Structure 1
Amino acid sequence: MTSRYLEQGNRDIARSSQTGHDPAVHTAAARRRLSDLTSVEMLQKVQDNFSAAVGVAMVIVDPRGEPVTKPSGFSNFCQSIRNRPMWRERCYHCDSVGGRTALSTGDPSIYKCHCGLVDFAAPIIMRGEYLGAVICGQVNLRSSDTIPDLVDLSGLFPKENSWQDDPELLEYYNEIREINYEKLRSAAYSLYYIASYIVEESYSNSVNQELYAKNMRLMEESKRRAELERSLREAELQALSYQVNPHFLFNVLNTIGRLALIEGAEETETTVHAFADMMRYVLKKSGSQFVPLATELDHVKNYLFLLRLRLGDRFTFRISVPDEFGNTVCPFMVLQPIVENCINYAIEPRESDGVVDINAFRDGDDVIVDIVDNGDGISADRKQAVLAGVADRDGRKSIGIYNVDSRLRHYFGDDHGLEIVSPFRDNRGTLVRIRLPADYDDAAI
């Protein structure tokens, strides 16, 4: 499979030289294609933060290996190599082969570039279309590391006019750092999930815009109202899968950066793995709208763990759910929007002593999951607005709780909607209750 992409890459280079290919023109086209789906500026910000946090070079390239984002953390050696046209084209070719190899497997691939440095390539794919790849590395690996499935491109090109004849480049090459294979692999997979999530989240925004246009047409097409309303409801449920707050994403990245600056590495790796698990849960979910309750709780536990890194001792959290409820069928991503509300309205406004409790118990044919905070609570009017999806926050509608309530009613019936209980007094907090059928068969959907 890899040799096929090597041959394809060589044909691409030959065709480029025959047709007078202009890299700037092609990169602009790739940038426009990505811009149709997401903000290149957002990708750049994530890439810059992540490169600074883990200390490896990163760039996002188009299918031909040409940069779409500006390089982050590039070494003096690689910057100098890429400033010279002939060697720059070889770099692009290596990155293209690495990306296409990753595309063929669906997972990040590791390869040695024409200068002998090691890179990871991870494909960015949207609805079956290959948009490019995340390239991560420009390092030497420790000689003791076992490197599976290494694609060696170091002998791909002729040796004449070798960079090794240049004393300045040799000096820069000797500055290249060594890195542990597992750390490089972890960084590649993490940025892979983050970049894929940003593209997916942006795609979700376009889906929501289409939903709005459909809703406008409903008023004019009364004969098709029932069919369109059913279609709209299903699309809204699908769109919910992408509603992780991007502000939280950047807060986590900044936290990782600070940790990497002040400590050795162990806590940083734990943080990166926790965040990667969150992204994996959001992006790699199966076609089913249901997960075991234990899986949903693991996702919330990672979310709260990462928030503790940012907020420090301002709050504690406890998850007390008996193991016997772990296999209870739970709609995907119903707990996190509720917990996020606890953080936004009960924890963030206070300096210390915040609490988020999650516990569960059996009530007849149902499993009850309670999410409780110790904030100032919510008024009756605000509660009704939140459940109706018309509550306003900073000039936009806050629909997270409304979506959760709608999904529970859609799957389990109106008697399984969200319950919100709050005395609306200082430090008396809010309780949000989810009612899940204990013996629900999701295969019947």
Structure 2
Amino acid sequence: MQQSYEGSANEEIIGWGGRQENPAGKNGKGAHIARKKLSDLISVEVLQKVQDDFSAAVGVAIVIVDPDGVPVTQPSGFTPFCNTVRKMDKLRERCFHCDAVGGRIALSTGEPSIYKCHCGLVDFAAPIIMKDQYLGAVVGGQVHLTDLHEGADLEDMSNLFASGDSWDVDKQLVELHEGAWQLPYDRLKSAAYSLLNIASHLAEESYSNTVSQELYVKNMRLMEESKKRAELERSLREAELQALSYQVNPHFLFNVLNTISRLALIEDAGETEKTVHAFADMMRYILKKSGNQFAPLGTEVEHVKNYLYLQKLRLGDRFDVSLDVPEEFNEVLCPFMILQPIVENCINYAVEPRESGGFIKINAYSDVQDLIVDIEDNGEGISQKRKQSVLKGESEHGNRKSIGIFNVGSRLQHFFGEEYALEIVSPYRQGKGTLVRIRLPLEFDPCAFQMK
């Protein structure tokens, strides 16, 4: 069954060895893929040998091109007619356009497309797709069909262009056209599918080899990191687990350990070392300060930075952070471990429930008498009823009491007075989030407090 194709001759063109638009861009399939090149996966010499032998055996012209239409191999078996036509600017552009249409059709279906070019010869285009990545195409043909049985799927582009500058007015071209190879439709279709399967199989095999080599390299890096990981595990075992479990959610610890393990598989030593240092700094801060009531705001902020860095490794691009705490406030005293429980709440309730788009903002400023620290997220917010239960320490998360926010609020009032009670502001509308506000006196003498 012959079909006709109508399209603009001014569309981006593809040629056997000419310029090619990546047809994936038209339908989104494989549009993001330039990560692997066909020539990186398969030896070009092997492809050339397979192509040359297949062309000679079947009697069709063949060339393999990358997604941009650049030949990966040298053309095999091109007919004298097509070689001559492609030296003529006007006719060569028409050849490229027909190949472009055939390539887009093949990529859209994932199977070879067979089409009649503007000169009446029959060509095919077979996409090479691996793991949903468009690596290139096998294009070939340049034959007369000896038969065309009912049900044959053939795009007809022979009448696509105006008759001006037609090839069939040139006697030499007519003779060369008549001398092109002849092939039954079923044989040409079989050749197209065979080439597609061969090239795809070679690509898959080579991809598997590449993955194995990459895994080997990563395993070698993992061995180099084993000593540092062992030292980290020893330091964790020796940590004061009671103080740790009191100050930090145990789920966070396990998540960090899992993240470090994954990094050891996929990152080099530098990134793993940075992660270990951030986690070690957190542990030192918690264990060193666990007996103290106050800490400079600057050290609290550094602790939160380490916490957010580790959470960022675990959650990736699921959330962003904005941190604006001027250095002039670094020495302002605040209750120890007052920021992390609030930031942790943002992670649990605003970031974890969504796949992307989470946002946490930490902002510090002064109203002359007090320092104000706002911690804000863009989650679903919190109802008035739940806000009261959180501030009273009556809220539950899972099957246990959630007292982190209550603990922060209680210490603020205990140290500084009721006017420094924790504030929670939320319109309780999706995406509008929750703002937790901490007020700290700019001038505070912990010694005077202890003497009361």
TM-score by length of 1: 0.49
Structure showing the higher helix proportion among its residues? 1
TM-score by length of 2: 0.48
